[in-house]
Structure 1
Amino acid sequence: MKLPKIVLVLFGLLTIVSCSSDNDSPNDSDPQNGTIYFPPLNSDNWETKSISELDWNETELQPLLDYLENKNTKSFMVLHEGKIVIEAYFNGHSSTSPWYWASAGKTLTTALTGIAESEGYISIEDKVSDYIGTGWTSANIDKENLITCKHLLSMTSGLDDSEGDGVEPGDLQYIADADTRWAYHNVYVKLQDVVSQATNQSWDDYLETKILNPTGMSGSYFNVDDFNVFWSNTRTMARFGLLNYANGIWENNQIIPENYLNDAVNTSQNINLAYGYLWWLNGKSSYHLPQSQFEFPGKLIPNAPNDMYAALGKNDQKIYVIPSKKLVVIRMGQAADDENFALSGFDNELWEKINALIN
């Protein structure tokens, strides 16, 4: 196939430089010893970087794009130090089309929880019931009061994941003490209630004020199959990936507290080494998967860089952040193969194709 009709790909001698503004200056405190570019807040202008400039293998670009299109992809972006290297749209999708983040949006909850803590509204070490009252689960009071906000961030609440993803008290049954069992569960959304109660603001309003507006992100939560799911265009997802790559900074503003974010993208408990605060972590010696208590040996995504951390959503919604490569990679679309909850074999196949390009 030829390059997608709606695609921005920079390679060879082609270099597209977008119009600049007072808001698109680089930040000179990149932890990866470079400069991070931040796109302006209220403009579609976004500076670019060519594949030739990066000395990547240009001949591997078309096979990557063909693979993505064949795998039901709607959009794909690669940022290097914040600048766009690849931006491609497939299957009728465009730069303005919204799509759902699914569980990749859990990391929005991570970020906003950290902001609420930095502003003194909450402490993640506190009991969840300190903020939303007792009786939010069906566990007895002693067991419920073992569950802290940090346990929701790390998926170690001890609540029974076999009961489904409802979060009414009847759905939240005790199975083990908090911090003794890792289980992927929708109970994390109770953190949104915690933050709303503590700040006396709606979750949507607090998110807009603290993250969306300061970074130029757009998007909204919509109810899909009884789940409140974040939807946005691809560039908004890329802005959020860039915010995390930059250690929580946008321009000269510390949006997400750096120490908290560092904790969030490192192992949060000793059961699933490949899980931080709602972020998946590569390069660990073992990992657990959703709906399983089995420990698998080896890296989460063998073909991906060891330092990569990722927001992974149902049907292959992806935010990959790779500090060592100075990359943020975004994929939105339908399931590449079979329907899945977060991780799939597509991750490893995709990274084989990406490696062929960037290496």
Structure 2
Amino acid sequence: MKNLKNIGLIIIGLFICSCSSTEENVFAEPMYFPPNNSSIWETKTITELGWNESKVQPLLDYLELKNSKSFIVLHNGKIVLEYYFNGHTESTPWYWASAGKTLTTAITGIAEEEGYININNKVSDYIGTSWTNAPLAKENLITCKHLLTMTSGLDDTNDQIDAANLNYLADAGTRWAYHGVFFKLQDVVEQATSQNWDNYFNTKLKNPIGMSGIWLASASSENVYWSSTRSMARFGLLSLNQGNWNGAQIINSNFFNNSTSTSQSINLAYGYMWWLNGKTSYHLPQTQFEFNGSIIPSGPADMFMALGKNDQKIYVVPSKKLVIIRMGNAADNETAALSDFDEVLWQKINAVINP
């Protein structure tokens, strides 16, 4: 009788295992990395993941309605959804806008790992004094880390980054304000490495992970990155894997983890130019008001995000092994980074991935 009971328990256990979700089984597979210099990128189906295929079309209809040009969903590195709208193609370049700030973060971390810089050192150690219009004593308070965390204390009423427009407003570290002054980190890297920014970027990040793309100067003198959507997805995949690309540690993992964690006490939802979901409060660009709750309530709590003007998006969700990319024109009104579009988009994504 005891043996029969044990056999029954084994059968029940096997039945439970066989009924475990498809997605859990998929999670056991190793992370996939597409080969460099190739258009090959392995795919995975909605059915394999157990997602809700009937909700895909409403998601795509919403994306097209909201002026999207491209949309990609990766699960564990493989493409599950990839769609292009309004004449955009797999090879068409588009601008990252402020989502590209995270590329500067990555290069800053690489330069620190290689011993060229220390983010706790003041910016003027690398590019000299008078790079702002602030009194020298106040300028010398500004470290590279303050630029990474948007806490330089410089006036954010305009986004011009020439010295005449970088005026003192508060001591570094005491005020969070979204500002293009982060671009000075590219000057820091150039001076510290004695290399052209493009060359260092290409050698240390772009080429090792097989990205396409180019930096182009904007009206405010910032470099803006342009690339294909798949190249943005490659960077998202590198980020999902904490700076590691197929066994090669491109970005120091400790630096990367710090980049995607709360970096200061003023805006809990901000790391090193990565936005963080699931925090108890957040600040938005161009305001000093503190909002309660998560940036995107319908989004996963562990999600971190690269967000750019006119709704350029990299969403990374470690708990679900997801990378989601959206490129296009502004969904509604022109915005610096965040918009109401994020919340509705995540409601529709959830309808697909959480059947």
Residue 189 of structure 2 corresponds to which residue in structure 1? Answer: 195
| Structure 1 residue 33, shift from structure 2 partner | 6.2
Distance in 2 (alpha carbons) for counterparts of 1:273 and 1:105: 21
Residues 292-333 of structure 1, C-alpha deviations (whole Å, 9 max, x = no match): 000000001001000000000000000000000100000000
Distance in 2 (alpha carbons) for counterparts of 1:100 and 1:330: 13
Residue 344 of structure 2 corresponds to which residue in structure 1? Answer: 349
1:241 paired to 2:236:
yes
Q: Which letter does structure 2 place at the counterpart of 1:173?
A: N
Residues 40-98 of structure 1, C-alpha deviations (whole Å, 9 max, x = no match): 00100000001000000110001101111111000000000000000000011000100
| Structure 1 residue 228, shift from structure 2 partner | 2.0
Residue 335 of structure 1 corresponds to which residue in structure 2? Answer: 330
1:45 paired to 2:40:
yes
Q: Identify the structure with the greater helix proportion.
A: 2
Residue 307 of structure 2 corresponds to which residue in structure 1? Answer: 312
| Structure 1 residue 346, shift from structure 2 partner | 0.2
Distance in 1 (alpha carbons) for counterparts of 2:206 and 2:86: 28
Which structure: larger Rg?
A: 2
Residue 265 of structure 2 corresponds to which residue in structure 1? Answer: 270
Identity across matched positions, percent: 67
Structure 2 matches for 1:53-202, cutoff 5 A?
Answer: 53-162=48-157, 164-202=158-196
Residues 193-235 of structure 1, C-alpha deviations (whole Å, 9 max, x = no match): 0000000001111000000110000100112324321000000
| Structure 1 residue 167, shift from structure 2 partner | 1.1
SS at match of 1:211: helix
Distance in 2 (alpha carbons) for counterparts of 1:223 and 1:194: 17
* Greater mean alpha carbon deviation, residues 54-63 or residues 216-225: 216-225
Distance in 1 (alpha carbons) for counterparts of 2:237 and 2:286: 30
Q: Which letter does structure 2 place at the counterpart of 1:223?
A: A
Residue 212 of structure 1 corresponds to which residue in structure 2? Answer: 206
Distance in 2 (alpha carbons) for counterparts of 1:273 and 1:93: 36
What is the TM-score with the length of structure 1 in the denominator? 0.90
Q: Is the 8 A contact 2:305 2:315 kept in 1?
A: yes
Distance in 2 (alpha carbons) for counterparts of 1:219 and 1:333: 16
Distance in 2 (alpha carbons) for counterparts of 1:257 and 1:280: 19
Q: Which letter does structure 1 place at the counterpart of 2:173?
A: D
CA RMSD in angstroms comes to 0.8
Residues 103-145 of structure 1, C-alpha deviations (whole Å, 9 max, x = no match): 0000000000000000000000000000000111111111111
Distance in 2 (alpha carbons) for counterparts of 1:287 and 1:46: 36
Distance in 1 (alpha carbons) for counterparts of 2:29 and 2:267: 32
SS at match of 2:346: helix
Q: Runs of at least 4 residues of structure 1 off by over 3 A?
A: none
Residue 300 of structure 1 corresponds to which residue in structure 2? Answer: 295
| Structure 1 residue 34, shift from structure 2 partner | 4.7
- Give 2:275's match in structure 1, choosing from 261, 265, 280: 280
Q: What residue ranges of structure 1 are gaps of 5+ in the alignment? A: 1-31
- Give 2:215's match in structure 1, choosing from 214, 218, 221: 221
| Structure 1 residue 252, shift from structure 2 partner | 1.3
What is the TM-score with the length of structure 2 in the denominator? 0.91
| Structure 1 residue 159, shift from structure 2 partner | 0.4
